[in-house]
Amino acid sequence: MTTAPAYRQPGTVLFDHRFAVPLDHARPDGERIELYAREVVAAGRAAERERLPWLLYLEGGPGFGARRFVGQQAWLGRALRDFRVLLLDQRGTGLSTPANRQTLPMRGGPREQADYLAHFRADSIVKDCELVRRELTGGAPWTVLGQSFGGFCATHYLCTAPEGLDAVLITGGLPSLDAHADDVYRAAFPRIERKNAAYYDRYPQDVERVRRVTERLASERTVLTSGYVLTPAAFQSLGLLLGGGDGAHQLHYLIEDAFVRTAGGPALSDAFQEGVHAALSYAGHPLYAVLHEAIYAQDARPTAWSADRVRGEFPQFSAEKALAGDGPVLFTGESVHPWHFETDPALRRLRETADLLAARTDWTPLYDPAALAANEVPVAAAVYHDDMYVDTAHSLATARAVRGLRTWVTDEYEHDGVRAGGERVLDRLLALVRGEA
The string of pLDDT tens digits covering residues 198-242 is 999 999 999 999 999 999 999 999 999 899 999 999 999 999 999
Q: Which of 416, 406, 353, 351 is nearest to 375 (CA)?
A: 406
Q: Which 3 state secondary structure label does DSSP give 34? A: strand
Confidence of residue 47 (pLDDT cuts 50, 70, 90): confident
Are 160 and 267 part of one and the same domain? no
**pLDDT per position as a tens digit, 245-272:** 999 999 999 999 999 999 999 999 999 9
Concerning whether 362 is annotated as a catalytic residue, the answer is yes
For residue 223, give the DSSP letter: B
Are 98 and 116 part of one and the same domain? yes
Q: Considering 148, 281, 306, 395, which one is annotated as catalytic?
A: 148
Concerning whether 119 is annotated as a catalytic residue, the answer is no
Are 300 and 205 part of one and the same domain? yes
Are 287 and 326 part of one and the same domain? yes
Are 262 and 118 part of one and the same domain? no
Q: Considering 206, 237, 415, 416, which one is annotated as catalytic?
A: 415
Q: What is the CATH number of the domain that holds 417?
A: 3.40.50.1820
Mark which of 298, 325, 358 sits at the end of a domain. 358
Beta strand 84-89 with 142-147 is unpaired
Q: Which helix (H) or strand (E) holds 398?
A: helix 392-401
**What mean pLDDT do residues 375-400 have?**
97
Are 299 and 424 part of one and the same domain? no
Concerning whether 128 is annotated as a catalytic residue, the answer is no
Are 52 and 115 part of one and the same domain? yes
Residue 26: left (phi > 0), alpha (psi -120 to 50), or beta? alpha
Are 265 and 383 part of one and the same domain? no
CB 158 within 8 A of CB 375: yes
Mark which of 358, 380, 415 sits at the end of a domain. 358
Are 167 and 277 part of one and the same domain? no
Mark which of 328, 358, 388 sits at the end of a domain. 358
pLDDT of residue 339: 97
CB 243 within 8 A of CB 197: no
Q: Which helix (H) or strand (E) holds 87?
A: strand 84-89
Residue 425: which domain range?
2-178+367-433
Are 262 and 284 part of one and the same domain? yes
Residue 49, pLDDT > 90, answer: no
Q: With a threshold of 0.85, does the pTM exceed it?
A: yes
Q: Which residues face 406 on adjacent strands?
A: 380
- Report the alpha-carbon distance of residue 365 to residue 118 in Å, rounded: 13
Q: Considering 29, 201, 326, 362, which one is annotated as catalytic?
A: 362
Average pLDDT over the chain, rounded to whole?
96
CB 304 within 8 A of CB 367: no
pLDDT of residue 50: 81
pLDDT of residue 48: 84
CB 287 within 8 A of CB 62: yes
pLDDT of residue 55: 98
Are 213 and 104 part of one and the same domain? no
In the chain, the number of structural domains is 2
